[in-house]
Structure 1
Amino acid sequence: MSEPHELHVDLVEYLFGEPSEQDRLTVEAHLAACAQCREEVDSLTEMQTQLSAVPPEAMLDGPPPDADLLLQRALRQVRKESAGVRTRNRTFAAAAAVVVAAAAIGVGVLVGRTTAGTSSPIAAPPPASVRPTGARFASGTDAATGARLTVGVTPAAGWVRVNASVTGIPAGQRCRVVVVGKDGAREVAGSWLVSPKAANEGVNLDGSALIDPANVAAVLVENTDGKQFVQVKV
């Protein structure tokens, strides 16, 4: 039976730390003559690449309750590496495997939550920390019609993206979201037929309007006959 392999130089410090010039030369001289240590360098470098590929968003959510199996497998690998003689380099590689496993689960959580079916949302302005640069938000209710509009206007190159949440409009109305310019210009950003469900729960729409972001003054909702239900300044 072969003896457990022990590395002869500190590869973790060489690859991920700040070795002195003398230490670096010593390690490189050793690698030139040691195939096993060269394999370990390749393994650690590959692990670093895998960790670098994990998106930061994957760390926002923890694993779901039924996601223990993958982590348990990774932890068993760590325990296996811990048995007998081993180096701190293999410890690092095994521990990094756990991080990759956890991150992979996190990605699954994000994808699952993003693609899961949900009811039509009634959008509110996102937190300031995640608002797009230059985006403007406004909300208002028309006392006469009872309609409410919450809108976000995000500037693009010579046009704007519009997200509108509308409640309080009767079923059967053919409506449109209109972006109004400071110069009186009007651009339709989207339109829809109000369903019974939308009349009760509201509707959320994404659209765009060909208008200079600096010229935007307000957003309104009206029907195709020109009756205005609600308008907000932005």
Structure 2
Amino acid sequence: MTVQEHSHDELLGAHALGLLDTDERARLEGQIEGCEVCQVGLADLRALEAELGEVPPEFFLEGPPDGGELLLQRTLRQAREEDKVTQRRRNLVVGLAAAVLTGVLLGGGFVAGQAQTTSEASASRSAPAVSDGVETGSATNATTKATMTVSLTPAAGWVRVNAAVGGLQTGEKCRLIVLSKSGERETAGSWVVGEQKQGVQGQGVDLAGFAAVPMDQVKSVVVENDQGKRYVEVAI
């Protein structure tokens, strides 16, 4: 089977999540019926989606972050306005679907808002990004002792965010916030600090999410608790 015969494979993730419209779904299902490889791939995606649905509710604070549905709508609307080409719209939907299926989304959105405080004494910017457009940075708050290393990857009008956070108190209900230059705030993810150390270096937790904020409009990334106490901020 040639590569051309599998050109619709990129839509399998969107189909598994129910994101295709009626015509697209009918057309894709007709192609899948005659493709055993595609049938196996779709079954694997649905199985993965079912496994992600078994994540215990205690992992989240009080369900999805506020405005999560609005954020997704804003992201899709902005992508359509920037490019009317159907293929680009599909690529954005498939990109978001892939993020959900791999479990990288802890909560929803991103955002903006306050200037960096003087307590962020040890903040430092990294060397130029190793990939085109990628921005990284790290900081340690001298007062709270909390630390964070952040990597932002630009997309079409939004950014992917990866953060390694440490030095937080067990039991704290925390949020990962993106602050924009215009003063907006959006929540990228939320979690409860556990007793066991996590993360790739065993010193905290690794987080991933996305924000409907263009890369050039991001001011900083912040970790704060549910009462608004700021633990650490990384300037971008």
Q: Tell me the TM-score normalized by structure 2.
A: 0.43
Max radius of gyration: which structure? 1
The answer to which structure, 1 or 2, has the higher relative contact order (CA under 8 A, 6+ apart) is 2
Structure with more of its chain in helix, by fraction: 1
Q: Give TM-score, length-normalised by structure 1.
A: 0.44
